[in-house]
Structure 1
Amino acid sequence: MTPKGYLCPATEPEVPRSRRPWPPPTPYDREITDEKTKIRVTVVDSGLWKDAVGSAESPWLETDDVFAGNEDLEQVIPTKIHEYAGHGTFVAGVISCIAPETRIDVEAALPYGGAVFESDIVDQIQDALEENKPQIISISAGTHTRDNHELLSLVLLAQNNKFDENDDVLIVAAAGNDSSNDPFYPAASAKDYPWVVSVGSVDPDKKVSDFSNFGKDWVSVYARGRNLVNAFPKGTYTCHEPPNKGKVRKFDGLAQWSGTSFSTPIVTGLIAAEMRDNGLTARAAWDVVRQTAITEYDARIGEDIQIVGPLT
């Protein structure tokens, strides 16, 4: 299929019908006070809108769990929320809902919604590996490549950091939102490397979302990516894309959003929670999560798919 060129994410943020997040926060009654024992996740994204952390609207983003360096804080003008604003914050919020008491460091590697040199994002990942020592790196961005070649710089990064030999480093990446089976990197590296998990999106009815990329040879798993609700900047947003171009939406700390960008942190959270609860490495936890998958046949794409996580 030829990619249709959807936005990443698949939709623009919408005003939620409910003030409750989806997925809902998972109950967890133990506070982890020793920072050294928390599972460490790095979110490579648009940065962090700091006002969401510890706020009344998104209390699941706890001040002792979610962090960003000064250079990774997202500046938002409330009267004119910019395109892609809040993306990294939303992703961090989904992870926090699924896996409370996880340390999440948000990097501002993609301030322009994915328009970044491959070398720059790899440098950002390398910095995160050195500074935060993440066990899971969650990436809700990517690209199709010329002749479907893999991202050489990412492979070199993995070689230099010995990802093949380290069971406790895992990249979880979005499969993309082009309704295509063409490989989308870095997610498509899952077909060749055990340190990458590729995540597509399904709707609550277990069918592949009409925007989601797919492909049994490179999409590892699917999770719900339709109409999630989580933290978003307060203020006014003017839509950029048809059919809602020019429509003004007012937000008060939460948004509803769709895309493989948001099915990805569900899988990240499931893996982090398994690591937290059972003392497993990242790859061992992924194996356990994968074993919980249900198999569904999707007639539209003509494939069996594996689905994990909550759906309704």
Structure 2
Amino acid sequence: MEMQQVGEAFIRPGQLLTDRSSLSAAARWTQAVSEADGVCVVHLAAGVDPCELTAELRDQGLRASPNHVFRGQPLFFGGPASRPFPTPPISYKPGRSRSDVTVGLLDTGVAEHPWWAASDWYDDIGPEAADASEGLQAGHGTFIAGLLVRGAPGAALRVDRVLDGDGLGDEASVVRALHRLRERPPQVLNLSFGGHTFDDRPPQLVADAIAELTSTVTVACAGNTASDRPFWPAALPSVIGVAALDAAQESRAPYSGYGTWVDACARGDWLASSYLDTEQFGGFAAWCGTSFATALVSGTIADAAKKEPAKDVVRRLLDGEGARQIPDLGVPFPSSL
């Protein structure tokens, strides 16, 4: 994917993300427009800076953003947690129980695996949602799916592929996927990816699309930035931002994002889950990152949502009397996975 670095943010060069109401205001800088699922990507004329044009349009009260690049969040920048490691097969047999809860999973897709071979939801995802077979983060979505099905037995997954095999996707693809969820919104939505914005302001079109899913609890990773700089979409007030704890579940994992915008935390170090079936891995792996802490929190909420609305679950777990708070990490969600 072609991208350009602007400060600590990444954008698609020469692209502006907007809605129809702003197209006329951007017309004189426009070379072409592509529209799908209610999102317009304006391809700008040569030499036009999408960040400067965004600021100009926002000053007019219009919706606009550079087309930011989002990344999946295992530890992306190196170290022992930057890649999955082979692990022995995990003893887990899916039960026959069925839940009315659906968890949305926007990620690299989901590959075939014995844990969901007999599930209706996997039959429904289609070949376009299959996990990437090559790339630095191939298997990322499959790994997360395993954490979700074990954390919320019987729940169905609704899968949409928004990241490529290297874990990269753009804001336009994410907003379009969010819009597609409006017809049948899931109770819980897992977003184990994100990024910074060029101006540290919220990505407005993403925020709007999430806000339209009024009955959905959206859970997103705080990023593996080891900083308190807002990481989006986790830092949105309407989203549960999740940091990673170490394997002992006592302290912040050194790579994890943190800050007042983080709402919850869970173990992110050396989790084992489903993975691609390759010669090296055989369908299982161990991996680290806030991506996977996020899946543990999503699974806990989805499992509790069998008995009460997901929004009520969140209020009880995050704001209930006696809820333990860790400064800059939020409420810890214990896990036995």
For 2:97 and 2:252, the matched residues in 1 are separated by 36
CA drift at 1:156: 2.5
1:45 aligns with one of 107, 117, 128: 107
Q: Which moved more, 1:227-236 or 1:251-260?
A: 227-236
Q: Which amino acid aligns with 1:87?
A: H
Q: Does 2:265 correspond to 1:222?
A: yes
CA drift at 1:83: 1.8
SS at match of 2:182: helix
SS at match of 1:122: helix
Choose between structure 1 and 2 for higher RCO, CA contacts under 8 A separated by at least 6 residues: 1
Q: Which amino acid aligns with 1:151?
A: P
Q: Which amino acid aligns with 1:188?
A: A
SS at match of 1:146: coil
Q: 1:75 to 1:175 in 2, by over 3 A?
A: closer
2:218 aligns with one of 153, 171, 178: 171
User: CA-atom RMSD, angstroms?
Assistant: 2.8
2:208 aligns with one of 138, 149, 156: 156
CA drift at 1:148: 1.0
- Structure whose residues are more often strand by fraction: 2
Q: 1:96 to 1:61 in 2, by over 3 A?
A: farther
Q: Does 2:119 correspond to 1:63?
A: yes
After superposition, residues 27-176 of structure 1 pair within 5 angstroms as: 31-32=97-98, 38-49=100-111, 51-52=112-113, 55=114, 59=115, 62-66=118-122, 67-76=124-133, 81-130=134-183, 132-159=184-211, 161=212, 163=213, 166=214, 168-176=215-223
Map of 2:253 onto structure 1? 209
Name which one, 1 or 2, has greater alpha-carbon Rg.
Answer: 2
**Matched residue pairs, number?**
261
Q: Does 2:289 correspond to 1:262?
A: no
For 1:304 and 1:265, the matched residues in 2 are separated by 16
> Which digits, 9 at most, give the CA deviation of each residue in 1:152-191, with x for residues without a partner?
11122245x2x4xx3x2121001100101100000000xx
For 1:183 and 1:304, the matched residues in 2 are separated by 13
TM-score (norm 2): 0.70
TM-score (norm 1): 0.75
Q: Are the counterparts in 1 of residues 72 and 192 from structure 2 also a CA contact under 8 Å?
A: no
Map of 1:240 onto structure 2? none
Q: Are the counterparts in 1 of residues 131 and 142 from structure 2 also a CA contact under 8 Å?
A: no
Q: Does 2:336 correspond to 1:289?
A: no
SS at match of 1:188: coil
Q: Give the gaps of 5 or more residues in structure 1.
A: 237-249, 298-302
Q: Are the counterparts in 2 of residues 296 and 305 from structure 1 also a CA contact under 8 Å?
A: yes
1:20 aligns with one of 76, 90, 94: 90
Map of 2:23 onto structure 1? none
Q: 1:7 to 1:284 in 2, by over 3 A?
A: closer
Q: Which amino acid aligns with 2:297?
A: V
After superposition, residues 232-311 of structure 1 pair within 5 angstroms as: 232-235=275-278, 250-276=280-306, 278=307, 280-290=308-318, 291=320, 293-296=323-326, 305-310=330-335
Q: Are the counterparts in 2 of residues 224 and 311 from structure 1 also a CA contact under 8 Å?
A: no
CA drift at 1:127: 1.2
